[in-house]
Amino acid sequence: MSDTPWIVAAEIAPPVQRARRWLAPPTIGRGLLAWVVPALLLVFWQIASSVGWISDTVLPSPLKVAQAGWTVAKSGALFENVEVSFLRAMAGLVVGGAIGFAFGLANGVSKLSEHLTDSTLQMLRNIPHLSLIPLVILWFGIGEEAKLFLVALGVFFPIYLNTLHGIRTIDPQLLEMGKSYGMTNSMLFMRIILPGAMPSILVGLRFALGIMWLTLIVAETIASQSGIGYMAMQAREFLQVDLVVFSILIYALLGKLADSVARFLETQCLKWHPSFQSGPRA
Amino acid sequence: MSFADTSAPAEARAAPLPDFEAQFRAPPASGVSLTLRGVVKAFGPRTILRDIDLHIPGGQFVAIVGRSGCGKSTLLRLVGGLDQSTQGQIVFGEGEPRTAGESPVRVMFQEPRLLPWANILANVEIGLGAQRKTKLARERARETLHAIGLEERGAEWPSVLSGGQKQRVALARALVSRPRLLAFDEPLGALDALTRIEMQQFLEKIWLRDRFTALLVTHDVMEALTLADRVLMIENGSITLDLAIDLPRPRRRGSVDLALLEERILKRLLRDETNSPEYAI
């Protein structure tokens, strides 16, 4: 053994992890690390406002924004408006998402259905849905229907496209195996098609959540009598810049919340997927 | 049921819900015989199999060898019900031609084809087909996992297994319903040399225990000779060699008898289109 020392060296050598250790922070701090940059930005913003680099009429200091937030929160207007916006977003997501999912499934499973509807849907997809706002206002006025329609239309396409894509890219070998092992159509769907398409469907959901907030903000800002966007527009009328900034922050927070929910769904539904497994792999 | 059944009473088999407990306690049914009469398979103008006549008695281990593209996999897909023959009949047992319905055949593919989103035990349970939901399904799946030596890992995802282990799970899935004919489509083709030998010994052990009829498609002549009672060679869509291998088991790899047979078959396989029936049996 002594004349072949490299064999010994190879056996003792630790698994290749060195490069990673440099970059990866200690495990406790990893969650906090994401907040370092926002916190620094906030501190810089506060200092810049206090020193007078940024005028209050352009961008009020974080403290003033927080004060404005506290005032609307105390009056109860904040929660009322957030609730209204949240319910609108969810209603649009449920309606548009369900229709998109249904079309995606139907067109993924049935060739007839795909020939019948896919090219029409692809044509409609190329119309920016926000360009319909004038038409929607003419149709529905500025009531709830207008916002529901726009949000539903916005979330329909990402969910539809990704569901369809997920079903189309299912491994045909698995389907053949299922058929050969005597699976009925409903079993094929529940055990192979749906779980196989799930990663793609969840990607669609994440896109849809982004579009959902975007659509709602635009719709509420242009034509609304309640909601966060309406709150921001009201504040603009009275030159309350701090309240406008606060409304924008609320949108950011809600967007982040929606993204976290989507992430949570991914880790729950895709436990089997190697990219979502934390343990060692063979 | 579309095939004649010689061991179980016909009325029990024809019932909509099979008496699973009785089946579980009963010893496994022995292999079903397989008869092909004038089977032709063509894809458009290309004829892959020409007029195949073949009888395999129940419980026999038959290996099919041939160059790639000779039609051996097509033959297996016809037997496994994955494709329909253009002409001819495929009969299981001594009964009428097979129609749709629960097949006595299970196919094991070259790839494991495990569902990545189902744990290992659930993957094995797929093999039980309609019986999957019965009380003893889980017990039987567990028992089969035990037989392949992976009983401790039933709750894990397939992605953590090695290639050989995945193929073992696929074998358990094929075995769990106690099929009376098991068709293997180069199941060991993607494994490394050592795992292959291990799996061959394992296959032989299982076959000796359960005595199903086995149809093994392989391009490895030595594998065919180690495992099979009978080796068929397919060339240009016809069976050109039908060789009984009458050697005691377990066969020792590298023995003179096997080497001589291997040379004989390889010579035949490697020779070009000239076909004088030198080794016809």
Tell whether the model's pLDDT for residue A282 goes beyond 50: no
Tell me the average pLDDT across B2-10.
45
pLDDT score at A207: 93
Domain A83-276 is classified in which CATH homologous superfamily? MetI-like (1.10.3720.10)
- Quote the domain boundaries for residue B141: 114-178
Report if residue B95 sits inside a domain. Answer: no
Counting residues of chain B whose pLDDT is more than 70, the rounded percentage is 81
Report if residue B265 sits inside a domain. Answer: no
Report if residue B76 sits inside a domain. Answer: no
Tell whether the model's pLDDT for residue B171 goes beyond 80: yes
Report if residue B124 sits inside a domain. Answer: yes
Nearest residue in chain A measured CA to CA from B161 = A282
* Most confident by average pLDDT, A163-167, B124-128, B251-255: A163-167
Q: What is the DSSP letter of B143?
A: H
Tell me the average pLDDT across A271-278.
78
Test the B interface: residue of A181, A184, A275 with most B CBs within 10 Å: A181
Tell whether the model's pLDDT for residue A85 goes beyond 70: yes
Counting residues of chain B whose pLDDT is more than 90, the rounded percentage is 30
Q: Where are the domains of chain A?
A: 83-276
Tell whether the model's pLDDT for residue B239 goes beyond 70: yes
Report chain A residues whose CB lies below 8 A from the CB of B157.
Answer: 271-272, 277
Tell me the average pLDDT across A135-164.
92
pLDDT score at A224: 79
pLDDT tens, residue by residue, B20-44? 555 555 555 578 889 999 999 998 8
Cβ–Cβ contact B156 with A under 8 A: no
* Alpha carbons B232 and B207: distance in angstroms, whole number: 19
pLDDT score at B269: 85
Edge to edge, the sheet with strand B230-235 lists B105-108, B181-185, B213-217, B61-65, B230-235, B238-244
Which residue has better confidence, A10 or B126?
Answer: B126
* Alpha carbons A123 and B11: distance in angstroms, whole number: 58
* Most confident by average pLDDT, A106-120, B177-191, B259-273: A106-120
The beta-carbon neighbor of A180 closest among B81, B159, B160 is B81
DSSP chain A: -TT-HHHHHHHHSPPS-HHHHHHSPPGGGHHHHTTHHHHHHHHHHHHHHHHTSS-TTTS--HHHHHHHHHHHHHHTHHHHHHHHHHHHHHHHHHHHHHHHHHHHHHHHH-HHHHHHHHHHHHHHHTS-GGGGHHHHHHHHTTSHHHHHHHHHHHHHHHHHHHHHHHHHTS-HHHHHHHHHTT--HHHHIIIIIHHHHHHHHHHHHHHHHHHHHHHHHHHHHHS-SSSHHHHHHHHHHTT-HHHHHHHHHHHHHHHHHHHHHHHHHHHHHTTTSGGG--S---
| Per-chain mean pLDDT for chain A | 85
The beta-carbon neighbor of B111 closest among A173, A196, A277 is A173
Report if residue B126 sits inside a domain. Answer: yes
Q: Please count the structural domains in chain B.
A: 1
* Alpha carbons A68 and A231: distance in angstroms, whole number: 12
Please report which confidence band the pLDDT of residue B271 belongs to, taking 50, 70 and 90 as the band edges.
confident
pLDDT tens, residue by residue, A170-225? 999 999 999 988 888 899 999 999 999 999 999 999 999 999 999 998 888 887 78
pLDDT score at B179: 87
Counting residues of chain A whose pLDDT is more than 90, the rounded percentage is 49
Q: What is the DSSP letter of B251?
A: P
Please report which confidence band the pLDDT of residue A91 belongs to, taking 50, 70 and 90 as the band edges.
very high
Please report which confidence band the pLDDT of residue B19 belongs to, taking 50, 70 and 90 as the band edges.
low
Q: How far is B81 from chain A (nearest CA, A)?
A: 7
pLDDT tens, residue by residue, A213-259? 999 988 888 877 888 888 888 888 888 899 999 998 998 889 889 98
pLDDT score at A281: 42
Tell whether the model's pLDDT for residue B4 goes beyond 50: no
pLDDT score at B12: 44
The beta-carbon neighbor of B129 closest among A176, A181, A273 is A181
* Alpha carbons B104 and B3: distance in angstroms, whole number: 8
pLDDT tens, residue by residue, A19-62? 445 555 555 567 788 889 989 998 999 999 888 888 888 888 89
Tell whether the model's pLDDT for residue B233 goes beyond 80: yes
ipTM: 0.79
HEC profile for A35-101? CHHHHHHHHHHHHHHHHCCCCCCCCCCHHHHHHHHHHHHHHCHHHHHHHHHHHHHHHHHHHHHHHHH
Report chain A residues whose CB lies below 8 A from the CB of B99.
Answer: none
* Most confident by average pLDDT, A15-29, B83-97, B207-221, B245-259: B207-221
pLDDT tens, residue by residue, B53-112? 999 998 899 999 988 888 888 999 999 988 899 989 888 886 544 444 457 789 999 899
| Per-chain mean pLDDT for chain B | 82
The beta-carbon neighbor of A281 closest among B109, B117, B160 is B160
Cβ–Cβ contact B161 with A under 8 A: yes
Helix (H) or strand (E) segment spanning residue B239: strand B238-244
Contact B109 A195 (CB under 8 A): no
Tell me the average pLDDT across A129-146.
89
* Alpha carbons B165 and B163: distance in angstroms, whole number: 5
